[in-house]
Amino acid sequence: MTSVQKALVLWVTGLAFLLVGCGDDNDDGDNDNNNQGQQFAPVTEAGVTDPNIVYTINIAGLGTTTLRFPTANSYQTIINGQTINGTISNLTRNGNSWTATLTPDPNQQGAQGGPLTLTWTGTNAGTFTLQPQGAAAQSGTFTVTNVQSNPGGGGNTNQNPGTTNNPGNGAGPLVGKSLQIAYPSGGGEKFTFTSNTGASYENGAETATYQYNTTTGELSISRPGGQTYKMVIGASSSSGTTTITYQEPGGNPDISPANYTLQ
């Protein structure tokens, strides 16, 4: 197995681990907090399997991986631009930790399943340990972004949403700046923020609206045709990488990694 395939194996295993944390088929309370402090992990599957919720996984030595749940029993990950699909099973929660089994769909090069453990250390963040078959255990961190205000049934609802731009409180941190997005597959888009809620798309081709959370960095943009973008952009950053969830009216969310500059 090549080094790229091995890295992909570890990546996929880590994704499986996240899937574990997202589901909960067992709501009888036997495995709840166990008197070990605040409950951060989701307590129901509905709280974490919304297709608009994005999990960003960081494993040392590998590129950023994103994870989402198209359905309650399936997962999709993007690892360095490669998409991997599969199913999850054997979800079990113990306090703030989850374990599960990841099974990739057939004929996906380098994809390998295995047991994972995900532990929430905060409302939208945590650590994980994974045991790839025939390889040393790996560990890393994850964050949850694009969190919905009410995903249903508990889960990773943001309990501290911070301050959203308000025209009555003076100019927000994005006003006067331009956000240039570049996709690894080619092409890009540009938004210029003209007010606390308004933006110009592609140098005036359209007028868009947006909401920005100054604590979490969550940015939601809507174009006149109903197209929406969700991503995380730090107000103090000038460049970086992010994951963009793009959706057209009546369509399914499309999740893509992207590079950006904000200046």
HEC assignment per residue over 194-247: CCCCEEEECCCCEEEEEEEECCCCEEEEECCCCCEEEEECCCCCCEEEEEEEEE
Pick the range with the lowest mean pLDDT from 11-20, 47-56, 110-119, 241-250. 11-20
Q: Are residues 98 and 30 in the same domain?
A: yes
Domain ends where: 111, 145, 179?
Answer: 145
CATH number at residue 123: 2.40.128
Domain ends where: 115, 145, 175?
Answer: 145
Give a yes or no: residue 152 inside a domain.
no
Domain count, the chain: 2
Pick the range with the lowest mean pLDDT from 142-156, 193-207, 226-240. 142-156
pLDDT tops 50 at residue 214:
yes
Give the model confidence (pLDDT) of 132-184 as tens digits.
776 777 778 888 776 543 333 344 434 334 445 544 456 789 999 999 999 98
Q: Are residues 135 and 7 in the same domain?
A: yes
What pLDDT does residue 1 have? 55
Q: Are residues 106 and 17 in the same domain?
A: yes
Q: Are residues 174 and 99 in the same domain?
A: no
Pick the range with the lowest mean pLDDT from 42-56, 139-153, 174-188, 224-238. 139-153
Please compute the mean of the pLDDT values over residues 234-256 and round it to a whole number. Answer: 84
Alpha-carbon separation of residue 166 from 28, 128, 174 (angstroms):
42, 37, 12
Give a yes or no: residue 80 inside a domain.
yes
Q: Are residues 13 and 99 in the same domain?
A: yes
Q: Are residues 217 and 118 in the same domain?
A: no
Give a yes or no: residue 246 inside a domain.
yes
Give a yes or no: residue 150 inside a domain.
no
Q: Are residues 138 and 172 in the same domain?
A: no
pTM score, whole prediction? 0.46
